[in-house]
């Protein structure tokens, strides 16, 4: 073991660690405190002597009430949740099937297909949004949740396939072969033997896909036009800024409420999420 002196530990460890924690978490603290701060305190200028902007002695729910009264926030939250769940479900099923095929089955062009799927993984949404908007409209999907439920898988399927392919490769072949000797079909062995063993990998892919869907912005911004179809990020951007006026209290309340569900899901599955995250960049 390397032994360190106390002051050294403070200088090289506690101090930088504390700085990282403040840097990382302060914006969220600020988001939360703004959401509960009354307007007259909120709009105290930076030079005002008595302003104490780091906390508030008069927490209020006025922004919450305002948000609920003037916007369709609960609907946005529901839309975001439903879209993220359906898009994740579709991507997981496609990713499990495709990942299994690429990891286990021998067929011509499997290497080419693996590479092609990897490349689509790296195509950013901002490259294709203009023609995609026309395709969505031509398919009569514009302004319906299906526009997002079907397009989000474009960036989730490659990721799920890649991650699960890696996971399936780590499962010993013998497991399947035993089941096949006992008379199981290939498909049956995959569904009843391999998929259950791969549940940790599937969970990782699912959690990661869910947070990515929750975070998506540009497709939702372009494909959804009416207020009751929007997702939280788009609703907050387009409905809480009226003209040039920012309703900061309501904005931050909306941001906070839009962040909490995904943070809760994440907190339950931190380890799986981390596996998904680190797996997402492994070949």
Partner 1 sequence: MGGRRAGQDLHLSAEQARVSRLTRLLESEKALAAALLAPGVAILVLFIAYPFVMALWYSLTSIRVGEPGEFVGLANFTKALNDLIFQQAFKNTVFYTFWATVFKLALGMWLALLLNRHFRFKRIVRASMLLPFIIPTVLSAFAWRWMFDPTFSVMNWALYHGGVITDRLPFLSSGDWAMWCAVLVNTWRGMPFFAITLLAGLQTISPDLHEAAALDGANAWHRFWHVTWPLLLPVTLVVVVFSVIQTFSDFQLIYVLTGGGPANSTHLIATYAYQIGVGSGLLGEGAALSLFMFPVLFAVVWVQLRYLKRMENG
Q: Does 173 bind partner 1 (CB under 8 A)?
A: no
- Alpha-carbon torsion (273, 81, 88, 221), positive or negative: negative
Among 194, 229, 252, 272, binds partner 1 (CB under 8 A): 252
Residues between 107 and 126 that touch partner 1 (CB under 8 A): 107-108, 110, 113, 115, 117-120, 122-126
Chain position carrying tokens 């496609």: 94
Contacts 24+ apart (CB under 8 A), 260-265: 261/77, 261/81, 261/214, 262/210, 262/211, 262/214, 262/215, 265/207, 265/210, 265/211
Residues between 13 and 32 that touch partner 1 (CB under 8 A): 13, 16-17, 20-21, 23-25, 27-28, 30-31
Q: How far is the CB of 22 from partner 1 (least distance, A)?
A: 12
Among 85, 94, 171, 197, binds partner 1 (CB under 8 A): 94
Q: How far is the CB of 61 from partner 1 (least distance, A)?
A: 19
Q: Does 144 bind partner 1 (CB under 8 A)?
A: no
CA separation for the pair 5, 153 (Å, rounded): 52
Q: How far is the CB of 175 from partner 1 (least distance, A)?
A: 18
Q: Does 243 bind partner 1 (CB under 8 A)?
A: no
Chain position carrying tokens 């990382």: 24
Among 10, 169, 186, 200, binds partner 1 (CB under 8 A): 186
Largest CA-CA distance found in the chain, in angstroms, rounded = 81
Residues between 195 and 214 that touch partner 1 (CB under 8 A): 211, 214
Among 67, 77, 83, 98, binds partner 1 (CB under 8 A): 98
Non-local CB neighbours of 73 within 8 Å, separated by 6+ positions: 67, 232, 235, 254, 257
CA separation for the pair 91, 158 (Å, rounded): 9
Among 135, 134, 147, 129, smallest CA distance to 83 is for 147
Q: Does 268 bind partner 1 (CB under 8 A)?
A: no
In the stretch 68-87, what mask flags binding to partner 1 with x, by CB under 8 A? --------------------
Stretch that binds partner 1, among 48-56, 61-69, 168-176, 193-201 (CB under 8 A): 48-56
- Alpha-carbon torsion (37, 217, 26, 210), positive or negative: positive
């Amino acid at each position: 073991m390397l032994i360190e002196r106390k002051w050294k530990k403070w200088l090289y460890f506690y101090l930088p660690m504390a700085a990282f924690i403040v840097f990382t978490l302060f914006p969220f603290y600020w988001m939360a405190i703004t959401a509960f701060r009354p307007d007259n305190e909120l709009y105290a200028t930076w030079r005002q002597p008595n302003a104490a902007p780091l906390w508030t002695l008069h927490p209020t729910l006025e922004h919450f009430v305002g948000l609920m009264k003037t916007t369709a926030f609960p609907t946005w939250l529901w839309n975001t949740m439903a879209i993220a769940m359906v898009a994740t479900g579709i991507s997981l099923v496609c990713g499990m099937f495709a990942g299994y095929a690429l990891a286990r089955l021998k067929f011509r062009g499997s290497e080419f297909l693996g590479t092609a799927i990897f490349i689509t993984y790296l195509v950013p949404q901002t490259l294709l949004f203009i023609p995609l908007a026309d395709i969505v409209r031509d398919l009569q999907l514009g302004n319906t949740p299906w526009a997002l439920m079907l397009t989000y898988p474009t960036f989730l399927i490659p990721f799920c396939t890649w991650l699960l392919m890696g996971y399936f490769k780590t499962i010993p072949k013998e497991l399947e072969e035993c089941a096949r000797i006992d008379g199981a079909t290939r498909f049956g062995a995959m569904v009843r033997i391999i998929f259950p063993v791969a549940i940790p990998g599937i969970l990782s892919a699912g959690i990661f896909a869910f947070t990515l869907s929750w975070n998506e912005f540009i497709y939702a911004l372009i494909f959804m036009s009416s207020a009751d179809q929007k997702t939280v990020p788009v609703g907050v951007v387009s409905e809480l800024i009226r003209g040039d006026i920012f309703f900061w209290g309501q904005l931050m309340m909306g941001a906070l409420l839009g962040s909490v569900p995904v943070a809760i899901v994440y907190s339950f599955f931190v380890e799986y999420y981390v596996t998904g995250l680190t797996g997402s960049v492994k070949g």
